[in-house]
Amino acid sequence: MASFETPDPENIRIITTLGHVDHGKTTLMDVLLAANNIISPRMAGKLRYLDSREDEIERGITMESSAVSLRFQVAGRNGDGNLQATYIINMIDTPGHVDFSTEVSTASRLCDGALILVDVVEGVCTQTISVLQQAWRDSLRPVLVINKVDRLIVELKLSPVEAYHHLSRLIEQVNAVMGGLFASARMEDDLRWREEREKRLATKKDQYADEGEGTANSADTFKEKDDEDIYFAPERGNVVFASAIDGWGFRVGKFAQLYSAKLGLKEANLRRVLWGDFYLDPKTKRVISYKHLKGRTLKPLFVQFVLDNIWAVYDAVVLNPNAEKVVKIVSTLNLKVSPRDLKSKDSRQLVSLLCSQWLPLSTCIIQAVIDIVPSPPAAQAFRLPRMLYPDSFEQGIAPKNKLEQDLFTSNLGPDANIVAYVSKMIAVPRKELPENKSRSLTADEMRSRGRESRRERSSEDTSAPLAALQGTMETLEIEGKADDEVILGFARLYSGSLTTGTEVYCVLPKYNASLPPEHPSNVHNLVTAEVEGMYIMMGRELRPVETIQAGHTFAIRGLGGKVWRNATLCAPLCTGIPQGSDVKYNQACLINLGGASRMTSPIVRVALEPVIPADMPKLVAGLALLAQADPCVETFQQQTGEHVILTAGELHLERCLKDLRERFARVEIQASKPIVPFRETAVKAADMPPPKSPNVTRGTVKGASSQNMVSFTIRAAPLPHTIHQFILQNLAVLRVFLQERRAANGNTLGETASPIEGGRTGMQDDIFYSPSVRPEQFWDVLEDKCKEAGGEWSGIADRIWAFGPHGAGGCILIDARKNVIPKSLRRRLLQERSVNPYGEEGGQDGQYDLCGHIETGFQLATFQGPLCAEPMDGLAYFVENVEIDSQAIQQEIVQNRLTQVTGSVISGIRDACRSGLLDWSPRLKLAMYSCDIQASTDVLGKVYGVIARRRGRIVGEEMKEGTTFFTVSALLPVVESFGFADDIRKRTSGAASPQLIFSGYELLDQDPFWVPTTEEELEDLGEKADRSNLAKEYMDAVRERKGMFVDRKIVQFAEKQRTLKR
């Protein structure tokens, strides 16, 4: 296929399937593929065509998103004489498991609409809410597909009226989620509008010199958004009732079309009343509402005309097989079924055959997508402004230049700018590329090859052995290359048309469009690349194309080594970058569409090493390939030299290890036990030992550098809950401040201490929070929180020296020195912005300013605490005194030994901070999973047993109305979660399956150094405290893994007599 284009861009749709795991997304895609003659209709739902990985087929769940482009002929309703219109539907099937939710966010960024699948029995689950939020964030137009309706008949055995009420409740639950999303967005827009209005009023106040006059002259009011279009309503056509496994589905409009002539009503009128509390009066044959029932028990129209008929088919075929009724149904509905199929013993196959002809699911879905989901030009008109201006509250944003004009209209013209967004990179074996696949030879090619071989045999050539050897070497080289992986970019073209061989700019996610391209921070984020090849993705296959037009998704080759995970491809013309042109003259075509948001943070860490040490280079290269091909994987090398991989969960880890062994590294790999993160903190407990330093406040530590040239006093104290929670909620704001400081210091390459790329809020393993305040409001709100805490905390906002660890964490360093202008992060930020009303900072340190070294010691201590070298959280350190011996330091400078002094200051501060934590009652904080399990009543006790054994706790249970299913919510420590999913499936015989989502850290209220001291404790536990200390177990396990000293008794119960037997 030379090009992939349609005559009319209005006939293109780009959609994705979203939903909870096992709600039928891949089965639905099978039905659509069968309608496009890619697979057999009989294999739809069984083949799972888009699950191409071996482990996907074994487990029966999708792990990687797959794309396919389908072409459909749809009967036209207009009177142009055009009876059929060709539509191209670009579809992306996404995973439903929480471990692979990043695949969902990368796919939804490219789409204009979404099919939201919900299992009619399981209802709204955790991932259903997550994907609805994702669709809302990306401004997708959703279509609700209520799947597995057959389960209401076959499993739950509900009557049609009960099923109608069950469906009504389900739609209400989904709409409640949509209403909550709308309400939160409305409040954010209102806040932005008020801030903008205050700025405008302040400007007018300066102009008019009178606030009252400024207010009187502002006639703007906040425009309310209409929430009518966001809800799902069957009468609007955005709800599909379906059974993907049986191949049938319908919208209310289908039955309105069937019954309108019979009832003598207009189709549009009947569509409005076919769902809801409307009834058919048997006497007058008129449609009445519930107000005119007058005590009569009539069935709603939806039950009478829709559900009763579907229930009758299932009753005659599956529940109470009756051959005569089946024949009658076939003749009444005018279906074509062979006598052999009618005699089939497989009742589900027969019901699928009948219903898929009567109510074809593929026709219903395609018609719903065409009606509800906008075409690329229409969708980009409202989606692109929100992507480019996410903080704007205005509903309609006019394009400001030609580039935005092309983007908002999906311009295809020859003078249009090329803009394509690459949402993720995918790895494909080189032999799978179409150009490398072996094809069968034609008769002419076989004859010409025979003539050449005969000519070679007849000619006596002395160099024949050498030529044969060269040919063998070339063959081996080609075969070796065929085993390699090729990196392709998965992209969507927003404007222009792209041709193979075109040279384009790759704008990386950190590119700042407000700065010129030659700015130091932009130089490394703008590269050029040549399009080496383009492919239309057809599930397991790739089809090469020469040209792609705007509005299509495609795979692109040529970005390997230049684009890491996502990028925006730009060019000023459809012919690409003009020869010899400078980037300064093409700046108008550059735009950054940003990166896809990550729904879950990777939490499971594993250290890897090859079985054969000589294979280490292969492992390192394989890890780099894996990190590029999987958007949710992080790989880095620890300070110990270990190569570590971070994954979203246990299942994700299994998939990554399988890919490394079989595809990317191709070596045998040993994986360590999962490395689980902890946090160290301290609390004020009732039974704490007396302070280590007498006659001073608890937590106070005095220290000094080598030869006592620098002496200092630091006091540790637990942070009040309000301040701590506020800091954790706004880690992203602290990250912004950190980047500002780096930029001011000329460090644009980032911190070397942090092994993770930008985009994370703070350290590894931190949970993602959306900030509660804007950066400009942070200090004022923090000041209010400090006043709320009271006591010594009320005035610390201007004395905060630094946050830690890594400059953005849950610990703070406070300058509490007297008679000194304090080191204030707030003032430094204002100073860097050249708006410093406080004057210059100073200190008693004079020319020997050791403030940077004190902060470094604090950062080191908070990054590796005293318990098991894990990051600290929830502690404040007050620097109360720093004294410097200037003469001694002057002598060290003369002898060129100042580095020894600064090094000892750093290590002294670090040790003091660690000792300050131990002066309180130390605690560990465990990483926790929130766990949602759907289980029937007969296995509920087994589920509770498994959770209790793994030290989890139940936080809620709810019974699904009309079913025997319970939804159990629990909290489970990550350290106890490995093997949890397999364990729960074994105990319940597969009847329950958990979804684990990282939910942050929780205090384990147990002192790891606790020993029995009182008479009651000694009497109960004995001197050795035989009952295990859980906190100490966790602490010792981490210390042992890190090679630290572990205080463990080798000989237990040595005083007891042992009798040795043969």
Q: What are phi and psi of 330, to 5 degrees?
A: -60, -45
- The kind and range of the H/E element at 982 are helix 980-987
Q: Is-contact 148 99, C-beta < 8 A?
A: no
- Rounded CA separation 360/608 (Å): 50
Higher pLDDT, 765 or 211: 765
Whether pLDDT at 1020 is above 90: no
Which ranges in 573-720 belong to alpha helices (H)? Answer: 616-629, 650-659
- The kind and range of the H/E element at 449 are helix 443-458
Q: Is-contact 16 91, C-beta < 8 A?
A: yes
- Rounded CA separation 537/543 (Å): 7
Q: Kindly indicate the confidence band of residue 791, based on its pLDDT and cuts at 50, 70 and 90.
A: confident
Relative to beta strand 553-557, strand 497-499 is unpaired
Chain segment 889-931, per-residue pLDDT in tens: 888 888 888 888 899 999 999 999 999 999 999 999 999 999 9
Mean pLDDT, rounded, for 77-86: 63
CA distances from 477 to 161, 360, 464, 480 (A): 69, 51, 20, 5
User: Does residue 216 sit in helix, strand or coil?
Assistant: helix
- The kind and range of the H/E element at 28 are helix 25-35
Mean pLDDT, rounded, for 86-96: 93
Which ranges in 155-251 belong to alpha helices (H)? Answer: 160-208, 211-216
Mean pLDDT, rounded, for 74-93: 76
In sequence order, the 6+-apart residues with CB closer than 8 A to the CB of 144 are: 116, 118, 171, 174, 232, 238, 239, 240
pTM as predicted:
0.84
Whether pLDDT at 316 is above 80: yes
In sequence order, the 6+-apart residues with CB closer than 8 A to the CB of 1038 are: 678, 868, 869, 870
Mean pLDDT, rounded, for 451-475: 58
Of 375-379, 395-399, 845-849, the range with the highest mean pLDDT is 375-379
Whether pLDDT at 106 is above 50: yes
Higher pLDDT, 20 or 1022: 20
Average confidence score pLDDT of the chain? 85
Q: How is 906-920 classified by DSSP, letter by letter?
A: HHHHHHHHHHHHHHS
Higher pLDDT, 477 or 17: 17
* Residue whose pair of structure tokens reads 């750093």 in the numeric block: 906
Whether pLDDT at 838 is above 70: no
CA distances from 1049 to 469, 1008, 1024, 1028, 1046 (A): 68, 15, 10, 13, 9
Q: 160: how many CB neighbours lie within 10 A of its CB?
A: 20
At residue 848, the pLDDT reads 64
Q: Is-contact 106 9, C-beta < 8 A?
A: no
At residue 746, the pLDDT reads 58
Chain segment 21-44, per-residue pLDDT in tens: 999 999 999 999 999 988 888 888
Q: Kindly indicate the confidence band of residue 1010, based on its pLDDT and cuts at 50, 70 and 90.
A: confident
Chain segment 195-231, per-residue pLDDT in tens: 777 777 777 666 665 545 444 544 455 566 666 678 9
- Rounded CA separation 618/640 (Å): 20
Mean pLDDT, rounded, for 385-393: 79
Chain segment 515-568, per-residue pLDDT in tens: 888 888 888 889 999 999 999 998 888 999 999 999 999 999 999 889 988 999
Whether pLDDT at 487 is above 70: yes
Whether pLDDT at 178 is above 70: yes
Mean pLDDT, rounded, for 724-748: 80
Work out the angle at residue 635's Cα, subtended by the Cα atoms of residues 630 and 637, and round it to the nearest 5 degrees: 165
Q: Is-contact 289 253, C-beta < 8 A?
A: no
At residue 618, the pLDDT reads 93
Strands in 809-913 per DSSP E? 811-815, 875-884
Q: Kindly indicate the confidence band of residue 845, based on its pLDDT and cuts at 50, 70 and 90.
A: very low
* pLDDT above 70: percentage of residues in the chain: 86
At residue 765, the pLDDT reads 59
Higher pLDDT, 275 or 263: 275
* pLDDT above 90: percentage of residues in the chain: 47
- Rounded CA separation 917/685 (Å): 13
